[in-house]
């Protein structure tokens, strides 16, 4: 629960606030960029939500890994918020409940006839495990890279799921049942694509040629309104990340970017392909 006594004075005056336990993961700023901003390395409420925007504030509050977002009057949450389907009928759900162990990275679940897939790990909580069970449980738990393993083992054990990580990032999940190497289809329409760079074992997952789960290898910038990559958070090789994203552009198309950190975006395959090509050119320059 957010602590009123730790309310950051940089918050916009009003009901909603972020407290100073914030770790500046940026999750709230990506979920509701119209409401939250950054001040001196911490997230704050930039604008108090109107009544129709309240849901964005609640979604950010439920996702916050340090539970630092709340209301002065301690209002009750308006029912279940997560899992939240990204697009009606897509079977792709944002899970909220981000973990401090992954620095607040977003995690996703994909509902599939062949078995549901968890992409990266949210906090383990029965408040989320129950709804996931209602969706059909989990067949696979997959990791985009070593940083976002978090409570992945607990999720895999809870549902008896197979767990996958790239062999180069295996030290983060030595308990994983399966290792990824080259490009591989884990289920019909669900493809694992290695993109070394952010870490040596970074992977993106492409669902039905549309939904691209990118971990920390690729994201959308709300500020620039364009694709971006994180030069200041590249733990292995910027040049290899540039090359791997170039290969991604050559071989695949996608219409949505769903990252661990950074903005999520749904667009058009042709436009996103062109933006990715231009991003690679900027990275290489």
Residue 56 and residue 100 in one domain = no
Domain of 148, in residue numbers: 84-284
What pLDDT does 51 receive? 78
Contacts for 165 with CB less than 8 Å, ≥ 6 apart: 142, 143, 146, 149, 172, 173, 176, 179, 180, 201
- Residue 79 — very low, low, confident or very high, per pLDDT cuts 50/70/90? confident
In a domain, 11, yes or no: yes
For the chain, what percent of residues have pLDDT higher than 70?
A: 100
Residue 76 within any structural domain of the chain:
no
Q: What is the pLDDT of residue 120?
A: 98
Domain boundary among 44, 71, 98: 71
Clarify whether residues 28 and 119 are in a common domain.
Answer: no
Q: What is the pLDDT of residues 200-217, one digit of tens each?
A: 999 999 999 999 999 999
pLDDT of 75 higher than 90: no
Is pLDDT of 52 > 80? Answer: no
Q: Are 258 and 109 in contact (CB under 8 A)?
A: no
The pLDDT of 84-93, averaged and rounded, is: 97
* Whether residues 91 and 58 fall in one domain: no
How many Å apart are CA 283 and CA 37, to the nearest integer?
Answer: 26
pLDDT, position 1: 85
Q: Residue 70: pLDDT band by 50, 70, 90 thresholds?
A: very high
Q: In the predicted model, is pLDDT for residue 53 greater than 80? A: no
Say if residue 142 is in the same domain as residue 269. Answer: yes
197 sits in the region (left: phi over 0; alpha: psi -120 to 50; else beta) called left
Domains of the chain: total:
2
Query: Do 198 and 143 reside in the same domain of the chain?
Result: yes
89 occurs within a structural domain: yes
Residues 104 and 175 in one domain: yes
Instruction: Assess if residue 194 is contained within a domain.
Output: yes
Q: Which of 71, 98, 129 is the last residue of a domain?
A: 71
> Based on the domain organization, do 155 and 52 belong to the same domain?
no
pLDDT tens per residue across span 223-250: 899 999 999 999 999 999 999 999 999 9
Domain boundary among 41, 71, 101: 71
Return the pLDDT at 108.
98
Same domain, 244 and 269: yes
pLDDT in tens, 160-207: 999 999 999 999 999 999 999 999 999 999 999 999 999 999 999 999
The mean of the pLDDT values for the chain is: 96
CATH at 97: 3.60.15.10
Residue 101 belongs to some domain of the structure:
yes
Q: Looking at the domain assignment, is residue 79 inside a domain? A: no
* Per-residue model confidence (pLDDT) at position 9: 97
Quote the pLDDT of residue 54.
Answer: 87
| Structural domain contains residue 47 | yes
In a domain, 78, yes or no: no
With CA atoms as reference, report the closest residue to 92 among 268, 258, 265.
258
Q: Are residues 111 and 132 in the same domain?
A: yes
CATH code at position 49: 3.30.70.20
> From residue 204, how far is each of 15, 75, 100, 132, 244 by CA, in Å?
39, 38, 22, 22, 11
Q: Are residues 245 and 146 in the same domain?
A: yes
Say whether both 213 and 94 belong to one domain.
yes
* pLDDT score at 127: 93
Statement to judge: residues 14 and 35 lie in one domain? yes
């Amino acid at each position: 629960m957010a602590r009123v006594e730790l309310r950051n004075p940089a918050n916009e005056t009003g009901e909603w606030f972020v407290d100073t336990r914030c770790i500046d993961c940026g999750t709230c700023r990506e979920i509701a960029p119209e409401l939250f901003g950054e001040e001196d390395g911490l997230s704050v409420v930039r604008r108090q939500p109107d009544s129709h925007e309240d849901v964005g504030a609640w979604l950010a509050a439920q996702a916050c890994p340090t539970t630092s977002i709340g209301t002065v009057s301690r209002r009750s949450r308006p029912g279940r918020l997560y899992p939240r389907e990204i697009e009606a009928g897509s079977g792709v759900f944002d899970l909220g409940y981000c973990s401090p162990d992954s620095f607040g990275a977003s995690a996703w679940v994909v509902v599939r006839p062949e078995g549901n897939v968890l992409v990266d790990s949210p906090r383990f909580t029965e408040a989320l495990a129950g709804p996931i069970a209602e969706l059909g449980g989990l067949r696979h738990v997959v990791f985009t890279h070593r940083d976002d393993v978090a409570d992945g083992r607990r999720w895999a054990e809870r549902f008896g799921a197979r767990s996958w990580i790239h062999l180069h990032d295996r030290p983060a999940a030595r308990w994983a049942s399966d290792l990824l190497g080259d490009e591989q289809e884990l289920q019909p329409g669900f493809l694992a694509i290695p993109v070394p760079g952010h870490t040596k074992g970074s992977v993106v997952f492409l669902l039905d040629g549309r939904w691209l789960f990118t971990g920390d290898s690729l994201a959308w910038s709300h500020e620039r309104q364009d694709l971006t990559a994180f030069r200041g958070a590249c733990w292995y090789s910027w040049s290899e990340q540039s090359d791997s994203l170039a290969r991604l552009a050559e071989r695949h198309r996608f219409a949505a970017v769903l990252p661990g950190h950074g903005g999520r975006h749904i667009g058009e395959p042709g436009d996103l392909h062109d933006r990715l090509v231009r991003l690679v050119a900027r990275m290489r320059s």
